[in-house]
Amino acid sequence: MEQRQINSSTICAISTPPGTGGIATARISGPQAIEIVSKIWRGANLTDTKSHTAHFGTIFDPETGQHLDDGVVTVFRGPRSYTGEDTIEITVHGSKWIQRELINLMIRQGAEIADRGEFTRRAVVNGRLDIAEAEAVADMIAADSRTAARIALSHIRGEYSSELEALRNKLINLAALTELELDFSEEDVNFADRSQLLDLAREVNRKVTSLAESFATGRAIKEGIRVAIAGATNAGKSTLLNRLLGEEKAIVSDIHGTTRDVIEDTAEINGLLFRFIDTAGLRATSDPIEQIGINRARQAISNADITLWLVDSANPTLPTEKDPKTIILYNKTDIASAPEGALAISALTDLDLNPLLEELTRQAAPMQINPAQTVTNARHYQALIKASQSSARIIDALQTTLPTDLIAQDIRETITHLATITTPITTPLLLQEIFQHFCVGK
Ligand SMILES: Nc1nc2c(ncn2[C@@H]2O[C@H](COP(=O)(O)OP(=O)(O)OP(=O)(O)O)[C@@H](O)[C@H]2O)c(=O)[nH]1
Ligand SMILES: [Mg+2]
């Protein structure tokens, strides 16, 4: 992709989803934004209007004089806009034709079509957002549950970046203290200082490691907490999946071994996204296809965050191994009773699945997290793993009294790994990699 001159070009795109809607919003950003819109606009004089104000008027084609539509323009003057540049949002009626024509009008007046994520990219280049905050914007757009949105919003607001900033400051402090030790080493203050350095290094390592570990939870929240529905054939697993999803997604029958493939989908429960995975019933079989299904079932169970082991109350089969991530759920209580005190339902007849949903939420409770300290991004996770390793080396080095300059190198390395998470990175390839996941118009 040719790199566009960010400071001199003006970009435009439809920011609402593609297709027909009640209304649609186009965005235009760059030095000529106000000038270009003024040429296709009859209404308030946009050169004089205050920033962050909306105005009703008419969009027209200056070449033919023809009206396109009535609409509302909202003016955001740089640098106090999302992109940091002069930006205008134009809201019109959401016909596909009007949307296309509006973009064509702006292009004829000198605007260029925006690339994916280019508005956000400009926000980064202009210092309005750091990279981690920009990535959180994409997460926010993709958020599928209250918790995922809460984490994304906290990251957009910079709360996560501040956590990283605090760690960076600790490392700088550690570097300074190391220098100090170097200066005084001949006077034998060596020993006392090292224990102080060690405390600081351990604290940094603990925090970096715990951030890296939060990724397991962060990813589960973003992609759905994986709940494998497992158990013997005919226990009612597919029936339960359909109930949880509210649709007839999986085939149900009284023939044992109906489900072969892994069937999954997500549902939001109490603000958390769960990914329910229906699996083949576990039994000894000579059918090679069913055996493949059973292998897949075992794989799904081992990858799951929670296993929901379903038991036919009339014909109970319990798991052979005890596992803290397994919830035992008795089914078919309409035809047979479950043991006293057991979690039990009738997937077929119960209208109320609340006891089960509450148990699932309780199992997922460790996943109710501090948004500012939860990593949801694989790129950040990789940087944190590296920072965790290099900060562990600082501790080792301090304990084995390695020369101070080697310690300083590990400190610098840790700072660099953390910095890649938030600081604008200049390699165009990485920037492109990050922004290609955005939609056009954001
Ligand atoms: N009476 C009663 N029947 C149920 C209940 N839940 C499921 N069934 C019936 O049990 C049979 C098996 O249900 P499925 O959902 O296909 O069972 P499964 O565990 O997915 O079976 P496999 O895919 O073969 O492993 C069907 O006839 C269902 O209608 C229940 O709560 N009560
Ligand atoms: Mg089934």
pLDDT tens digits for range 380-389: 999 999 999 9
Q: Which of 413, 398, 404 is nearest to 179 (CA)?
A: 404
Q: Where in the chain is the domain with CATH 3.40.50.300?
A: 223-367
Most ligand 1 atoms within 8 A of CB, residue of 261, 330, 348 to mutate? 348
Residue 272 has pLDDT above 90, yes or no: no
Report the distance separating Cα 351 and Cα 171, nearest Å: 56
| Alpha-carbon separation of residue 378 from 177, 214, 348, 437 (angstroms) | 33, 11, 40, 13
Distance 254 CA to ligand 2 centre (A): 9
Cis peptide leading into residue 428 (ω within 30°): no
Ligand 1 site, residue 117, Cβ cutoff 6 A:
no
Are β-strands 112-113 and 225-231 bridged in parallel, bridged antiparallel, or unpaired? unpaired
**Res 2: pLDDT:** 44
Other CB atoms within 10 Å distance of the CB of residue 250: 21
Confidence of residue 425 (pLDDT cuts 50, 70, 90): low
Q: Where in the chain is the domain with CATH 3.30.1360.120?
A: 11-129
Distance 245 CA to ligand 1 centre (A): 16
Q: What are phi and psi of 26, to 5 degrees?
A: -105, 150
Ligand 1 site, residue 281, Cβ cutoff 6 A:
yes
Residues whose CB is under 5 A from ligand 2 (ion)? 237-238, 258-259
**Res 6: pLDDT:** 63
**Res 1: pLDDT:** 41
Tokens of 20: 């027909």
Choose from 3-7, 58-62, 140-144 the range with maximum mean pLDDT.
58-62
Q: Which atom of ligand 1 is nearest to the CA of 231?
A: 19
Q: Which atom of ligand 1 is nearest to the CA of 242?
A: 15
Ligand 1 site, residue 252, Cβ cutoff 6 A:
yes
Query: What one-character DSSP code corresponds to residue 352?
Result: -
- Residue nearest to ligand 1 atom 32, measured at CA: 332
Q: Which of 224, 381, 231 is nearest to 305 (CA)?
A: 224
Residue 192 has pLDDT above 60, yes or no: no
Residue 441 has pLDDT above 70, yes or no: yes
Residue 407 has pLDDT above 90, yes or no: no
Residue 322 has pLDDT above 90, yes or no: no
Query: What one-character DSSP code corresponds to residue 440?
Result: B
CATH among 3.30.1700.10, 1.20.1250.20, 1.20.120.430, 3.40.50.300 for 142-218+373-435 = 1.20.120.430
Q: Which atom of ligand 1 is nearest to the CA of 235?
A: 19
The predicted-structure confidence for 230-267, as pLDDT tens digits, reads as follows 999 999 999 999 999 999 999 999 999 999 999 999 99
Report the distance separating Cα 135 and Cα 425, nearest Å: 13
Distance 290 CA to ligand 2 centre (A): 12
Distance 236 CA to ligand 1 centre (A): 3
Angle at 334 between CA 329 and CA 339, to 5 degrees: 45
- Looking at all shown ligands, the one closest to residue 256's CA atom is 1
Q: What is the mean pLDDT of residues 80-106?
A: 96
Q: Where in the chain is the domain with CATH 1.20.120.430?
A: 142-218+373-435
- Residue nearest to ligand 1 atom 1, measured at CA: 332
Ligand 1 site, residue 13, Cβ cutoff 6 A:
no
Check if the beta carbon of residue 402 is closer than 8 Å to that of residue 394: no
Q: Which amino acid is at 37?
A: V
Distance 278 CA to ligand 1 centre (A): 12
The predicted-structure confidence for 290-312, as pLDDT tens digits, reads as follows 999 999 999 999 999 999 999 99
Ligand 1 site, residue 313, Cβ cutoff 6 A:
no
Distance 253 CA to ligand 1 centre (A): 6
Long-range own/partner contacts, residues 133-136 (CB < 8 A, 24 or more apart): 133/157, 133/158, 133/161, 133/422, 134/434, 134/435, 135/377, 135/379, 135/380, 135/434, 136/160
**Res 314: pLDDT:** 96
Ligand 1 site, residue 393, Cβ cutoff 6 A:
no
Q: Which of 372, 367, 365, 366 is nearest to 211 (CA)?
A: 372
Q: Is the CATH number of domain 223-367 3.40.50.300? A: yes
**Res 194: pLDDT:** 75
Ligand 1 site, residue 14, Cβ cutoff 6 A:
no
Residue 424 has pLDDT above 70, yes or no: no
**Length of the chain measured in residues:** 442
Tokens of 242: 């359909």
Angle at 113 between CA 91 and CA 152, to 5 degrees: 65
Tokens of 354: 């609340």
Angle at 55 between CA 50 and CA 60, to 5 degrees: 120
- Looking at all shown ligands, the one closest to residue 347's CA atom is 1
**173 CB-near residues (< 8 Å, 6+ apart):** 200
SS3 annotation, 108-168: HCCCEECCECHHHHHHHHCCCCCHHHHHHHHHHHHCCCHHHHHHHHHHHCCHHHHHHHHHH
Question: Which of the two residues, 270 and 290, has the higher pLDDT score?
Answer: 290
Question: What average pLDDT does the chain have?
Answer: 90
pTM of the model: 0.75
Confidence of residue 221 (pLDDT cuts 50, 70, 90): confident
Report the distance separating Cα 320 and Cα 317, nearest Å: 9
The predicted-structure confidence for 340-370, as pLDDT tens digits, reads as follows 999 999 999 988 899 999 999 998 876 667 8
Q: Which atom of ligand 1 is nearest to the CA of 350?
A: 31
The predicted-structure confidence for 138-156, as pLDDT tens digits, reads as follows 999 989 888 899 999 999 9
Distance 332 CA to ligand 2 centre (A): 14
**Res 442: pLDDT:** 77
CATH topology assigned to domain 11-129: Gyrase A; domain 2 (3.30.1360)
Helices and strands of the chain, counted as H and E runs: 13, 12
Q: Among 91-95, 97-101, 419-423, where is mean pLDDT lowest?
A: 419-423
Strand partners, 23: 93
Ligand 1 site, residue 388, Cβ cutoff 6 A:
no
- Residue nearest to ligand 1 atom 7, measured at CA: 236
Q: What is the mean pLDDT of residues 6-16?
A: 90
Residue 191 has pLDDT above 50, yes or no: no
Residue 196 has pLDDT above 60, yes or no: yes
